[in-house]
Chain A
Amino acid sequence: MREVRATILENRAIADKIYSLTFHIEEEIPIDCGQFCMIGIAGHPLRRPIAICRAEGGRITVCYQVRGEGTRILAEDYKAGETLSVLLPLGNSFPVADGVRKIALVGGGVGIFPLISVLRKYAPEREVYSYMGFRNKAAMCMGYELERGKKLKVATDDGSVGMKGTAVQAFLSDLSENRPDVVFSCGPLPMLRALKKGMEGKDIPVYVSLEERMGCGIGACLVCVCDKKDGTHARVCKDGPIFDLKEIVL
């Protein structure tokens, strides 16, 4: 984990309110799939936690949604050539055991971005099946990255692209004929809950990447916790953001 000065190479809109930010860092830091970074925004005391999509050498791409003032400033004021303060890499990674051949990815909205790092690392050597949900056609992005796997099924709320429905529905409708060894998911809480319900009794490991408002991002301040089944709390930034669905309360 380091705090580095990064130089912005590109920061552009790729879908409705969704931006792709690519920056360069001098030192090559190993980054595993599913890890995230905290980006500092001038004049704002809190950094913004953002998932890492792609890391090649010192060239790193993250994608974010404009949600509040901080991300709006990041989208509007930070241009190529300018510098950013970035804390990275943070958190754990998606666990892929040696014997795992088939990986299913279930992503919704901005939840697709950490899953892209899995596609980039494991496809095509392993069979990666992607089930990605968006609000509508305008919200869809990164199609070329999502197509890296063996199969891509897109679902939209309004049916403007792919099937009408959710990523979880798309995934579950395939499950009987295409049983994965492991499922990785990231997306809004209702989506993760639907996935949890759909996977009950299936005996397939499911790992989810959680989102939470964060303070330090490194596990010191105990701001971003989630409830564990054993009655304790886990830190989303340090013990997560990726958790075994069996171990947490959603």
Chain B
Amino acid sequence: MTDLRVKLCGVELKNPVIPASGTFGFGREFDEIYDISLLGAVATKGLTLLPRLGNAVPRIAESRGVILNAVGLQNPGVEAFIEKDLSWLRSKTRVVANVAGSTLSDYEKICARLDGLVDFLELNISCPNVKCGGMAFGIRPEDVKEVTHVAKEAIRKTPLMVKLSPNVESISRNARAAEEGGADCISLVNTFTGMAVDIERRRPILANNTGGVSGAGILPIALRMVYEVAHAVSLPVVGMGGITCAEDAVAFLMAGATAVQVGTANFTNTRACPEIIEGLAEWCDRHGVREVSELTGTLKMN
């Protein structure tokens, strides 16, 4: 039987499969369907300093092979998460706390608050930067470096994962900027900005007009970006973007990922994550792979 354990920034995960932020809440709802302690970790809903209501509805739309969402970071705030969900979630599995802010000070405060309480801090840098006229922190390399540095300075114990936006000039450059800022690990990709239109009403379906595109249709682009980033930095990489089955996860590992996140597939199939974990073990067994970590970065280019 294949050893599915992986080590990420010195933290051992029982397997490399992590439901992605925003698709899994804090894990309680999916735990009614299967025991979430079988997951490598859970990436929480994006946490802000204060509770947020998010955008108007509709917040979701479907297009061929993909979905678009514009939830707008609805969450109960970091304190409510700590009080109500954190100890339960930690009793189940590793916790990747996704951190969202609109100022540098937000990131600093949330990271300081969660330091030592969770297994990873994952910076969501796709949020609009209030000081930069609403442009996301994750767009310009200098902003990526700065927000990473501020977050890193605020923490002593918990490894820092920076989640990159793909809506940028060069994702490798931004990955290097995060590395220079002190990131311990990179996760990518966040969603691609897109639009879906109701032609009868001549209006975008989403109340927010645009939203983040995710799902199987983005996989080839995400996979290329994961490969590029894994070869641009010397940090471990967590890959995501359209993973729906174990074979997809294997491709991301080969491209250079140490672990993977699974998002949209949780909506299509509530048991997507456990099935990917089982499928990974079977694939590795069939291919004589004794430790899943052996797969990372083994892609041979033509």
Contacts and interface: CB of A to CB of B under 8 A. Distances in A.
B264 A45 contact: yes
Given A45-B215, A45-B268, A220 B30 contact: yes
* Residue of A87, A225, A238 with most partner-chain B CB within 10 A: A225
Contacts, number: 100
B267 interface: yes
Given A215-B69, A218-B32, A3 B57 contact: no
Interface in A172-228: 212-226
A233 B30 contact: no
A225 B69 CA distance: 13
B33 interface: yes
B60 A223 contact: yes
Contact of A223 (B71, B216, B268): B71
A222 B54 contact: yes
B24 interface: yes
A221 B69 CA distance: 10
A223 B30 CA distance: 16
Interface string B31-55: 0110000000000010000000110
Nearest to A68: B62
Nearest to A218: B29
Contacts of B53: 232-233
Contacts of B33: 1-3, 218
Contacts of B264: 45
Contacts of A40: 268-269
B208 to A, nearest CB: 12
B22 interface: yes
Given A45-B65, A45-B267, A219-B29, A213 B22 contact: no
A224 B22 CA distance: 13
Contacts of B62: 44-46, 70
A213 B60 contact: yes
A85 B57 CA distance: 26
B286 to A, nearest CB: 25
A47 B61 contact: no
Nearest to B242: A45
Contacts of B203: none
Interface in A5-51: 40, 43-47
Contacts of A47: 267-268
Interface of A (DSSP majority class): loop
A221 B267 contact: yes
Contacts of B271: 3
B58 to A, nearest CB: 4
A221 B268 CA distance: 13
A218 B270 contact: yes
Contacts of B129: none
Contacts of B65: 43, 45
Interface in A79-100: 85, 87
Contacts of A87: 270
A121 to B, nearest CB: 24
A221 B71 CA distance: 8
B59 interface: yes
B74 A46 contact: no
Contacts of B8: none
B32 A213 contact: no
A240 to B, nearest CB: 13
Contacts of A233: 53-54, 74
A212 B60 CA distance: 10
Contacts of A1: 32-33
Contacts of A43: 65
B3 to A, nearest CB: 29
Interface string B57-99: 1111110011101010011000000000000000000000000
A213 B70 CA distance: 12
B210 interface: no
Contacts of A232: 53
A207 to B, nearest CB: 20
Interface in B247-290: 264-271
Interface in B194-243: 205, 215-216
B79 to A, nearest CB: 16
Given A45-B66, A45-B216, A3 B269 contact: yes
6 contacts: A45-B265, A213-B58, A213-B61, A220-B28, A222-B25, A225-B74
Q: Which 9 pairs between the two chains have the least Cβ-Cβ distance?
A: A220-B25, A220-B29, A218-B29, A213-B58, A223-B60, A222-B74, A45-B215, A219-B29, A223-B59
